[in-house]
Amino acid sequence: MTTGPIKDERANLRLVSSPESEVYDLMRAPETTAERVKRLQAEARALALEEVERLERVLLEAAKIAREISNGGDAYPVGARELASRLSDDLPSKAETIKAIVSKASV
């Protein structure tokens, strides 16, 4: 029995339209080593892209939390509020930079 909040963990699905991402046909001849390498590289790139996109989401969530702390008043130590204020200003731009890099890599 869980006592904490239940999170809705939905998978982020991506439509990948490349020859390397096709459904494997059991009637097809076995892959050559070169074909397998290409397929595995495409899978690795897709997984890496998902991880970078997850980092972007986490940075934006961290910026939101930092903003709440920076606006939290005397309940938070002064140094923590100041650092949180800087993070809330800086993290969204870092997330945008990551988004731009990902969009260039996806083209």
Asked if 24 and 54 count as a contact pair (C-beta separation under 8 A), the reply is: no
Domain extent, residue 66, equals 55-107
Query: Rounded to whole angstroms, how far apart are CA atoms 15 and 3?
Result: 36
Select from 43, 48, 55 the least CA-distant residue to 16.
43
The average confidence (pLDDT) of the chain is 83
Residue 65 lies inside a defined structural domain of this protein: yes
**Which has more confidence, 81 or 106?**
81
pTM of the complete model beyond 0.75: no
- Beta-strand runs (E) in 7-95: none
Residues in CB range of 60: below 8 A, 6 or more apart: 91, 92, 95
Q: Flag whether pLDDT at 97 surpasses 70.
A: yes
pLDDT tens sequence across 7-56: 555 556 555 555 555 566 667 778 899 999 999 999 999 999 999 999 99
Query: Rounded to whole angstroms, how far apart are CA atoms 20 and 47?
Result: 14
Residue 45 lies inside a defined structural domain of this protein: no
Residue 32 lies inside a defined structural domain of this protein: no
Residue 7 lies inside a defined structural domain of this protein: no
Number of domains in the chain: 1
